[in-house]
A and B are shown apart, each in its own frame.
Chain A
Amino acid sequence: MKKRWTEVEADVSDRQEKQFAAWLSGVGISFENSEAENAYKERIGLLKDAIQLIKPPRRVPVCPSPGFFPIQYAGSTVHEAMYDYEALAQIWTKYCNDFAPDAYNAPTTIVPGTVIDLLDLTLYKWPGHGVSKELPYQFVEGEYMKAEEYQDLIDDPSGYFLRVYFPRIFNSLKPFERMPVFPLIHEMIFVPSGLAPFGMPELQKALHNIMEAASEATRWAMRMRALNSSIMGKGCPSFSGGASKAPFDVVGDSLRGTAGVMMDMYRHPDELQEACERLTPFMVRAGVSSGKANNHSLIFIPLHKGADGFMSDKQFQTFYWPTLKKVIIGLVNAGLVPLLFAEGGYNSRLEVISDLPKGMTVWWFDSTDMVRAKKAVGRVACIAGNVPLPLLCAGTEDETKKYCKRLIDSVGRDGGFILSTGAGMEGAKPGNVKAMIDFSKEYGV
């Protein structure tokens, strides 16, 4: 097998420049006026300088993670935002207009409720479907893949998802269990029998269900595209152009579950490692294709189960980091910039994660000690973070400014820093959000 994603290729700097140029060009965006176009380009310039570590940006870019905050700020409910695309567009426009962050997160995380209803997803509870209408959707922890199924996943990840995992997590796709074995359909004589399952009324109904859900998802995506284009047209770039995940988290989050994956490190260590390896090409491809399609540099990668306390350093280096590093290198080689969001604390991982090419990634921290992060990771990567949610939700404007001041003074003065929140800022006081953004823009010069 070909060895991939272990080395950074020679011309990655050129590729990164090209991708930044594509992002910066703003092709396809109709800017409201030349001021808006300039603001858009200047903001991407700030991010580019912060990321590349060649020269400090003119000022510290301020890019908070909105989470569900814009919804409560607009006086709406999560239910309305998930089901009424027009309302969602207004909510997001209001947030961007009123707070003017240097980059905004497209509301792709506020998934369309109707799509999820049509598929009858079992992985989550969502407003009106397990939680009340004003609450955010929440993940239901569980063992969605059995330990005995590792080999099936390893043999054929896509086949496993199609035939086993989807029927389990989407009640409307249960007949996908009957999907044929595709690689056999490669000679004329195998075609009729290969097609047979698709002739069954149950599978046809399930295919119809997925088409219906997909059409609804397309309606939502078109509305969101128009929304994004309008926000960018006013001069605000989006903070990321796609997403991927650490292979270990794919297994740990919604296949084996937390308890399952933790025990697998003892009970099925080889299979766990092999599964992570097998999922790696999918994670590289997901990030690369979305980044290229959206002409964007940054690929958001939320990290979950490698945080401090979840596992030992040795376990992190054995099970979590090797395949995450491959995903990072895979994206870097394609000219993209992984935006690694390390939720929780990452204090014990700082040395290990610093083993990366310089100026090619962003490490976004939550409760990690930012001064230590700057000393270790800051040598090779832009760091982002970490205004805490408790402060934004329960603190005062003065306290918020004080925190931002300390952050900029201690880690933001010489570039390589994006001021952001520790996580999605639902529940924040609008006054604190405003104070954080306005103060930091002014002070971070």
Chain B
Amino acid sequence: MFERLVKAIVEMREEEAMASVKELLDKREDPLKIMEQSKKAVEIVGARFEKGEYFLPELIMAGHMLTEISNRVKPVLSKGLEVKRIGKVVMGTVEGDVHDIGKNIVNFLLDANGFEVIDIGIDVPAEKFVQVIRDFSPQVVGLSGLLTLAYDSMKKTVQAIERAGLRNKVKIIIGGGQVNDTIKEYAGADAYGKDAMAGVLLVKQWMGVK
């Protein structure tokens, strides 16, 4: 039964996935287990994305299916789903830039890989990043941006984090359509992720996850 659910999610058969969730709930199977298995399926989707077998459509479909399943299962869940988290990442699009497709994909993959993601949105001023780092003590901070104006905003943000005395408490990764190693140096970040997966792998390395 659970195998059917996992397979349906992994192979992008949305209707079948939802039907098997309904069937499992009707049979009074443990809702917690339904969520766990669904998450497991999403992890497999993430792994296929890493291998270049899956692309954006599959990631977005998997995210969508997981939300739908969670909406069905939550009302009957007696206690919250406890997830082991391997680390905290603060993610935001830097000041002046309102693009977030890239950031949202990275967030989704980080979540699927067991990280707690604190998404602080778009057009985020440097001071806001500093505040959130103080409040949540993440190990990693991700700065996203599509436009070239993001270069200066990233630099300003890194400087603000430094001035606040927090620079050695966090690793900073940058990413976006027009970002590369030159901009990593320019902004004073620790790394840049060429694409969503490269970013997630770097974060995993930093946290000592294989």
Query: Which residues from chain A sit less than 8 Å from chain B, CB to CB?
Result: 125, 130-132, 135-136, 138-141, 258-259, 262-263, 265-267, 309-312, 315, 343-344, 388-391, 393-395, 422-423, 425-428
Query: Which residues from chain B sit less than 8 Å from chain A, CB to CB?
Result: 12, 14, 54-57, 60-61, 64, 96-101, 123, 147-149, 151-152, 177-180, 182-183, 185-186, 195-196
User: Max chain B CB contacts within 10 Å: which of A125, A130, A263, A311?
Assistant: A263
Contact of A135 with B182 at beta-carbon distance under 8 Å, contacts A427-B148, A427-B149 already known:
no
Residues of A within 8 A of B196 (CB): 309
Given contacts A394-B151, A394-B185, A395-B182, 14 further A-B contacts (CB under 8 A): A131-B123, A141-B100, A262-B56, A262-B60, A265-B57, A266-B57, A309-B56, A310-B56, A311-B55, A312-B55, A390-B183, A391-B182, A427-B148, A427-B149
- Residue of chain B at shortest CB distance from A265: B57
Q: Which 4 A-B pairs have the closest CB atoms?
A: A427-B148, A394-B186, A262-B57, A390-B182
- Looking at the assembled complex, report how far the CB atom of A71 sits from the nearest CB atom of chain B, in whole angstroms: 12
Contact of A393 with B99 at beta-carbon distance under 8 Å, contacts A263-B64, A344-B177 already known:
no
**Are the CB atoms of A125 and B56 closer together than 8 Å?**
no
Contact of A426 with B148 at beta-carbon distance under 8 Å, contacts A125-B98, A390-B180 already known:
yes
Residues of B within 8 A of A263 (CB): 57, 60-61, 64
A393 CA / B56 CA spacing, docked (Å): 29
**Are the CB atoms of A426 and B147 closer together than 8 Å?**
yes
**Are the CB atoms of B149 and A135 closer together than 8 Å?**
yes
Please pick, from A343, A394, A425, the residue contacting B183 in the complex, using a CB distance under 8 A: A394
User: Max chain B CB contacts within 10 Å: which of A136, A262, A425?
Assistant: A262
**Are the CB atoms of A259 and B182 closer together than 8 Å?**
no
**Are the CB atoms of B180 and A258 closer together than 8 Å?**
no
- Looking at the assembled complex, report how far the CB atom of A272 sits from the nearest CB atom of chain B, in whole angstroms: 11
A140 CA / B55 CA spacing, docked (Å): 23
Contact of A131 with B55 at beta-carbon distance under 8 Å, contacts A426-B147, A427-B151 already known:
no
- Residue of chain B at shortest CB distance from A399: B182
Please pick, from A136, A267, A343, A388, the residue contacting B149 in the complex, using a CB distance under 8 A: A136
A135 CA / B99 CA spacing, docked (Å): 13
- Residue of chain A at shortest CB distance from B179: A390
Contact of A131 with B60 at beta-carbon distance under 8 Å, contacts A266-B14, A389-B178, A426-B147 already known:
no
A136 CA / B98 CA spacing, docked (Å): 11
Contact of A131 with B96 at beta-carbon distance under 8 Å, contacts A263-B61, A309-B56 already known:
yes
- Residue of chain B at shortest CB distance from A394: B186
